[in-house]
């Protein structure tokens, strides 16, 4: 069973995305430098972290591991994850070339603080001065089974090939009622990671012409290669 704080963190992210889609102001952010996509092999040195005695080297619990863990899916439950205080600013992993491929105008970090169990990078796609779509990359310290639990997700399709190493699941948030427009306008693609799970949410103003699930899957395929590959890259945003 998911703990209350997990459900709250997912609900808070949904609220942030809904509020962001409704306006075009207050969502500025400087694009990341036009550098190569971050990887465990090419990233600069990250500060060393204290690791409890007995943690196996290069395991998912080894915060200092530089091992490439692309495709590794943790089963560590929410509440026991060491990454609760180590969620980075996701936007720093989304360079300009990725933004261009996603056709988004700007980006901004979703949350500030230290003991975060979720983090977000919110991006907007605009046309003629109006927001047409909202794309949000979410990091969770919950594992993928918890993120896809029936009380917080409506699973639509499994085993979607995101990359050679990553398989994703298409999902929606349960509707709050029969008039909940979010259920039609928004869709997410989720996959498990070494630190928990990533969900790429896509919300559109016109779901009849812009399928949010297709938009989410396509975005996930672009975003996935840019995401952290090793625990050493998981350092809290300042």
Q: Which of 86, 45, 42 is nearest to 63 (CA)?
A: 86
Radius of gyration of the chain (CA): 17
What residue spans define the domains of the chain? 4-22+61-233
DSSP H/E element including 145: helix 144-147
What is the three-class DSSP state of 93? helix
> Order of strands, edge to edge, in the sheet holding 186-192?
106-109, 118-127, 130-140, 197-204, 186-192, 167-172, 154-161
Work out the burial of residue 49: count CB atoms within 10 Å of its CB; fewer than 13 is exposed, 13-18 middle, 19 or more buried.
middle
Residue 179 is predicted with a pLDDT of: 84
Mean pLDDT split into 10-residue runs, the chain, 238 residues: 40 41 36 39 61 94 97 96 92 96 94 81 91 96 97 97 98 90 94 98 95 98 98 87
Residue 4 is predicted with a pLDDT of: 37
pTM over 0.95: no
Distance CA 220, CA 13 (A): 17
């Amino acid at each position: 069973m998911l703990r209350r704080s997990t459900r709250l963190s997912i609900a808070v992210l949904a609220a942030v995305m809904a509020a962001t889609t409704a306006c075009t102001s207050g969502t500025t952010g400087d694009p990341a430098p036009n550098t190569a996509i971050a990887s465990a092999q090419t990233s600069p040195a990250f500060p060393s972290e204290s690791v409890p005695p007995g943690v196996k080297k290069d395991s998912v619990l080894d915060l200092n591991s530089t091992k490439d863990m692309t495709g590794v899916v943790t089963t560590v439950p929410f509440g026991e994850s060491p990454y609760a205080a180590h969620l980075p600013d996701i936007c720093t992993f989304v360079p300009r070339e990725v933004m261009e491929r996603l056709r988004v105008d700007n980006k901004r970090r979703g949350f500030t603080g230290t003991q975060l169990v979720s983090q977000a990078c919110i991006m907007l796609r605009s046309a003629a001065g109006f927001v047409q779509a909202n794309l949000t990359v979410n990091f969770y310290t919950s594992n993928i089974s918890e993120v896809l639990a029936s009380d917080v997700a409506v699973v639509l399709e499994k085993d979607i090939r995101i990359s050679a190493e990553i398989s994703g699941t298409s999902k929606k948030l349960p509707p709050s009622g029969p008039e909940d427009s979010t259920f039609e306008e928004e869709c997410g693609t989720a996959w498990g990671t070494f630190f928990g799970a990533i969900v790429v949410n896509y919300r559109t103003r016109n779901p009849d012409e812009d399928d949010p699930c297709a938009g989410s899957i396509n975005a996930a395929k672009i975003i996935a290669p840019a995401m952290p590959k090793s625990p050493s890259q998981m350092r809290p945003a300042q």
